[in-house]
Structure 1
Amino acid sequence: MLSILVFPFHVVASIIRFVFGTLRIPLPQWRFSSLNFYRPLGGRGAPPSYDPYSVADRWVRSLEDETGALCMSRARVGSTATFSGSHSAGSSNTSALPSSANIRGRYGSTSRKILPDFFLGSYEETLQTCQREAKIGCIVLVSNEHDDVAEFKRNTLTDPILVDLMHTNDFLVWGGDVRDREGWSAAQKLQVTTYPFVAFLALQPSRGSSSFNSSSNTRASASPSLTVLSRHQGRSSSSGPTSPTTLVDHITHQLLPRVSPFLERIKHSIRERELERRLREEQDRAFAESARRDREKIDALVLSEKLAEEARRAEEDRIAREKAESARRENIKAVWRHQAREALIPPEPVDGPDLIRVSFRLPDGRRLVRILRPTDTVTALYCFVDTHVVPPSSTGISTDADNEKLPTPTSGELGLEGLIELSNMDADDWWGFKLFLAYPRRDISWSPDVRLGGIEGLDRGGQIVVEFVDKVRGDIGRQDEGGDEDGYDTEEST
C-alpha cells in the first residue's frame, strides 16, 4: 500500500529531472526521491543477501526463470558446438547478421532462447572493468512496476541477433532491478526516467585532446574517460526505443563505428603494456636467476677458499707437530748417544775362548771388523754400528748436553727399551738401520738381552750387512708390488 501511495511522487520527480536535464538547467538533488520504498526481491523468506555478486546472480537466475532462457555460457555447457572464429570476441563484425536459428545452434540449442552473459558484481565494478579492459558496457535496468518490462525481457534480452552481436563485440553486460540497492543506485546515477532502460558506455577521448587519428576522424587521448554514449528507455515494441531491431541497428550503424577504432587502439596499447610488463618480469626473473647463480658461485668459491685455508692450516699444524715430535725424539736419541751409548759397547777382547769375529759392511761401503764374546748382546752390535753411522761429533745437541737428563733411567738395556717406548717409536725407527747376516740373508732384529752365541749363523762369526731403514722399507715395498728380486747384492765372506 505504501508503494502505491509513493509512486506518483516518483513519477513527478522523474519528469522534472528529465525536463531540467533536457534544458541543461542545474537541478537540486532532492534526496526524498532516493528513498527506496520498493519491495526487495526474494520474497518474505530469509533476509536477502546484499552482496553485489549474490544480488546480481539472483537477478540473473530470476530472469532465466521468467524468460525460459539460459545465459550464453550455461547454454553452451555440454554442447559440442564451437564458436566460429569469424565471430570471436573483440571483432567488430557489423556485416550481414546470421539468422536466429544459426545463432541458437552455435550456442548449443536451436529451440531454447539465450541471454547475454551478465557481469556478476556491482555497478561500480562494471564501470571499472569497462575502463580497465576497454570494453563497451551495456547497462540494463528494469522495474516490474512497468508494464513494458515483461515484453522487454522476453523479446529484447533473448533476441539471438542482439545477444550474438554483443557477444561478438565483447560487450560487458550488467543488469539489475531498481528494487535492489545496486539497481536503484545505478538508476539515480544514469538519471533514468522510465523502464525498461538500456545504456551503452565506453571510453572516449577526453575533451581538448590534441592527438588526431585520420582513419576514424576521432581524437585519441592519453587519458580517456568513461562516457555514456546513448540511452534507450521505454517501450520494446517493434519500433520502440528498446526493441531488439532498434538496438541492433543502433549498435551496428552508430555505436560500433563510433567507438571501435578508438577502443582497438586502447586495447592495442593495453596489450603492448602487458607485453612490456611480461618482458620486464621475464628480464627481472632472468636477472634474479643470474644473480642467484652468481651468488652461489661466489659462496661456493668463498667456501672452497675457506676449506682450502682450513686444510692448509691443518696441514701446517700437522707438519709443525710432526716436526716438534721428531725434534723431541731426535733430542732424546741425541742425549742418549751422548750419555749412555758408549756404556753399552763392551771393550774388544784381545784373546779368549770362543771369540766371535764379525765383519760389518756399512751403507757407505766402509768395512769394519769387531771381535766379540758369545756373551755379548745384540745391543752391543747395534751400538757399535751406531757409533760409526752417527759419530759422537754429529749427535746434534748443544755443548751443555752433559747437564741434560734423560726422562727415564738409562742403566742397561732395559733403560734403552724404556727410552724407545717413551719416544713412541719402534726399534727400527730408533736405530735408523737394520742388520742382516750376509749369507744366508737373515734379519738380526734388536731385542734387549739377546746373546750373540744364541743367534744361528753368528755363533762362529760372520759378515753383517748394515742397511738404512728407509732403503729396506723401499725394497720391501717394491718386492710387494710383484718383484722377484731379493732386495740386496750378494757378498762373499771375508
Structure 2
Amino acid sequence: MDTLAEDQRDAVRQLQAVLDSQHYDTDVLVSVLQSVDWSVHSAMELLLDGPHVDSSASSRSTMSSLDLEPQLPVDRPERAGGRGPPRTLADAIFAVLSLPFHVVTGILRFILGVFRIPFLSLNFGASSYRPPRQPHDSRGAIRRWITTLEEETGAYNIKSSPSVATGRDSHPSTSRRHAYPPANPETTRVLPDFFDGTYDEVLDICQKEGRIACVILVSEEHDDVPAFKRVTLTDPNLVRIMNDNNFVVWGGDVRDKIPWDGNYFFAVLRSGSHYEVAAQKLQVTTYPFVAFLALQPRRSTSTSSFSSSGPVLTVLSRHYGPSVPDSGPTSARSLINHLEGQLLPRVDPFLTRYRNQLQERERDRLLREQQDKAYRDSQRRDRERIEAKIRAEREEVERIRKEEEAQREEEKRLQAEQERQESIKLRRSQWRRWMRRSIVPPEPRDGNSIRLAIRLPSGRVVRSFPSATTVTALYAFADSQMIPSSMNSQDDPEHPPEGSGGGVEILERYIHSQVQGPESWWGFKLALSYPRREIKWKANTSLAEAGLKNGEQLVMEVTSNVVNGKKPLGHDSDDQYESESD
C-alpha cells in the first residue's frame, strides 16, 4: 500500500468498503485492481457473483398492510434430515469438480500477490465454490449477531440471557438480564427482545402461544441497514409496543451462512441458512426487511368469508426499504403507526380469543390430568387395599395350616411317646411277672429267716425272707407288689423277656446293661424308715451284707413313673409303723 498512489489507495479503500474484508486480502484486491486498470466497478464485477446492484434500487420499497394484501400462509423450513433446501444436482456436481481448480488458483493467487504480480480472478457464477465459514450451531450464531448488534448500536437486548455473551447455554432463552423500562430511559438505549432460537422455533411459538412474530432481516451490503439498526431498532416507543404486546422478535444478517445440521461436506454443498430460508419464504428482495406474522382464521377459497377450520400462520405485513426519513417504510414512526392503527386492532381480538382458547384447553388438560391422577391414585389405593386383604387372608390360612400341622406333629409325637411308654410298661410288667415267678423266693416256714415290713405306695406288706436272700430278690419282691391283682401268678412267664435261661444272674446282667442305670430301671429305691438309710441295689449282695436285720421296716420311694404310674413317695414317720417282734 505504501508504494501506491493516492488515487489507487482510494480505489482499494472503496473496494474494501463494499466487500467483506475478512474474505479478501489487501494484496489480492490490489492485484485485481491492477488487472482491470484500477476500475473499481470492473473489480467488483469480477469478485462478486454478478453485477453490482445500484443502491438506488433498494430505496424503492413497498409496504403491504393487513387490509391491502391478502393472507400469505407461511411455509415451514424444510426439516428432512435437519438440512436446508439443496441446490440442483448440476450445481452440486459443478462445485465438486471445480474444487481442485479453486485450490490451485488460490495458491497461485497468494504467491503472485506476494510478488505484486496481477492475477485475473475468474468468476464461475453463482455455482462456483467458495470456502465456507467453519460450521457452527445456528443458535450460537444468532446470539453472536445480537451481541454484534448491541456493540454497533450501543444498546442492549432487554431480555437477553447472560449466556448470549458466554455462549454456554444451548437452549433458547428469554430470561431478563436488564429491567424494562430502564431506570434512565433518556440515556439508556434498548433493543427489542430478540429471540435467540431458530426461525422454525419462532413459528412454533406463534402457533403454540398465539403471539405475533416480528422477523427482521438485514444485509450489510445495503446502505440503509446501519441507519435502520441505529434508529429504528433502538426507538423506545417501538420497543415498548413490541414488549407490551409480547412480540416474538427474531432477526439476523442473511449473509451469515448458518448451515443446517449435517456433516461438513453437505454443509459445503448447500448454501441455505435459516436467514436465507426465511428470506425465501417471506419473498424478501430489499433490505432492511421487517415482517409481522401471526395466526389468522383460514379464508375460504370460494368466498371471502373465513373458513371454520383451524387458523393458519399468516404474513400480516411486509416492510422493506430505507428507514430515513421518518416517512420511510421501515422507520420507527411508520412501523408504530402501522401497528397501532392497523395491525393490532385487526389481529388482537382474534389472538386474544385464541389465547383464551389455549388457556381453556390447558386448564381442561390440567383438570383431566388431575382427574386421571386422582383416579389412578384411587385405583392404586383400592388395589393396595385388596392386595393387603388377600395377603392377610393368605397369611391367616398359612398360620392356621402351620398350627394344624404343628398340632398334628405334636399329636404324633405324643402318640409315639405314649406307645413307647406303653411298650416300656408292658416289657417292665413282663419282667415283674417273670421275677415274681423265678426270682422272688418262697416265704420260709422255719425260724431261719428275716422278717421285714415294707411300706408300698398301695399299702403295707410284711414278709419273711430266707437269710440267704439277696438284695436283688428283695427288690424283685417289692417290684412284684406293683402287679395288678387281676394278673394271676400262675400265668407268669417262665422265661425272661430278653435272653435265655433264668436266675438272678440273668436279671443282674440285664440291669447292668441298661443305659439309664439300675435305679432308673427299678423306678424306686428302698430305705430304712428311722433312722433313714438307703438300701441301694447291688448285684450278688445278701440282705445281711446290706445291713438288714429282722423286724426292720422299709419304705419304697418311687423315683419314676415306671412303678404303675404313681407319684413318688417320701418316707413317713416311724409312728406309722409298728415294731415287729417274734
Q: TM-score, normalised by structure 2?
A: 0.55
SS in 2 for 1:5: coil
For 1:178-193, what aligned pairs fall within 5 Å after superposition?
A: 178-179=254-255, 180=257, 181-193=273-285
Matches within 5 A, 1:16-27: none
Please, which of 505, 510, 521 is the counterpart of residue 415 of structure 1?
510
Shift of the alpha carbon at 1:280? 2.0
1:141 aligns with 2:217: yes
Letter in 2 for 1:122: T
Is 1:122 matched up with 2:214?
no
CA separation of 1:193 and 1:488: change in aligned 2, threshold 3 A: farther
Distance 2:230 2:310 in 1: 39
More moved, 181-190 vs 130-139: 130-139
Distance 2:225 2:334 in 1: 16
Aligned to 2:315: 228
Name the residue aligned to 1:171: 247
Aligned AA for 2:510? G
- Please give the alpha-carbon distance, in whole angstroms, between the structure 2 residues aligned to 1:129 and 1:458: 128
Looking at structure 2, the residues matched to 465 and 122 of structure 1 have their Cα atoms a distance apart, in angstroms, of 111
Deviations 1:2-47 (A, max 9, x none): 54516659x99xx9x999x97999xxx9989xx99699xxx99971
Q: 1:408–1:418: 8 Å Cα contact kept in structure 2? A: no
Task: Show the counterpart of 1:384.
Answer: 480
State the TM-score, normalized to the length of structure 1: 0.63
User: Kindly tell me: are residues 69 and 282 of structure 1, through their superposed partners in 2, closer, same or farther at Cα, counting changes over 3 Å?
Assistant: farther
Counterparts of residues 18-167 of structure 1 (less than 5 Å): 47-49=134-136, 51-74=137-160, 103-105=181-183, 111-167=187-243
Given that 1:69 and 1:158 are in contact with CA atoms closer than 8 Å, whether structure 2 keeps it comes out as yes
Q: Which of the two has higher C-alpha Rg?
A: 2
CA contact (8 A) 2:217 2:279 kept: yes
Q: How far off its partner does 1:370 sit?
A: 4.9
Give matches, 1:247-266, under 5 Å.
247-252=335-340, 253-254=344-345, 255-266=347-358
Distance 1:402 1:222 in 2: 121
- The answer to whether structure 1 residue 277 and structure 2 residue 277 are counterparts is no
SS of 1:62's partner is: helix
2:415 equivalent in structure 1: 323
1:241 correspondence with 2:329: yes
TM-align CA RMSD: 5.7
Q: Answer yes or no: is the 8 Å Cα contact 1:420–1:427 preserved in 2.
A: no
Matches within 5 A, 1:410-489: 411-416=506-511, 418=513, 449=539, 460-464=552-556
Q: Per-residue CA shift, 1:157-207, capped at 9, x if unaligned?
A: 333444344344433333232223001111111222322233333333445
SS at match of 1:229: strand
What's the CA shift for 1:358? 0.6
| Mapped partners of 2:227, 2:549: distance in 1 | 136
Cα offsets for 1:318-351 (capped at 9, x unmatched):
5424533542453244234235653276246346
The CA distance in 2 between the partners of 1:443 and 1:111, in whole Å, is 129
- Say whether the 8 Å CA contact 2:150–2:156 is kept in structure 1: yes
- Structure 2: how far apart are the matches of 1:461 and 1:258? 129
* Superposed displacement of residue 262, structure 1: 2.4
Q: Secondary structure at the match of 2:483?
A: helix
CA distance in 1, matches of 2:132, 2:234: 29
Distance 2:548 2:518 in 1: 24
Find the aligned partners of 2:501 and 2:251 in 1 and give their Cα distance: 114
Deviation at 1:383, TM superposition (A): 2.9
Deviation per CA, 1:261-316, whole angstroms, max 9, x where unpaired?
A: 32222222223213422442454355346535644654465356446535643553
Q: Which moved more, 1:304-313 or 1:274-283?
A: 304-313
Aligned equivalents of 2:531, 2:138: Cα separation in 1 = 110
Aligned twin of 1:291: 383
Q: What letter is aligned with 2:135?
A: P
Structure 1: unaligned runs, 5 residues or longer: 78-88, 90-100, 209-217, 394-400, 477-485
CA distance in 2, matches of 1:112, 1:242: 22
Q: Which whole-Å CA distance do the structure 2 matches of 1:230 and 1:198 have between them?
A: 8
Q: Hey, what's the Cα distance between the residues in 2 that align with 1:464 and 1:436?
A: 5
Distance 2:127 2:223 in 1: 16
Residues 67 and 154 in structure 1, CA contact (< 8 A), matched pair in contact too: yes
Alpha-carbon spacing, 1:340–1:75, altered in 2? closer, same or farther (3 Å): closer
Instruction: Look up the equivalent residue of 1:349 and give its one-letter code.
Output: E
Amino acid at match of 1:200: F
CA shift in 2, pair 1:222/1:491, >3 Å: farther
1:116 and 1:145 mapped to 2: Cα distance? 23
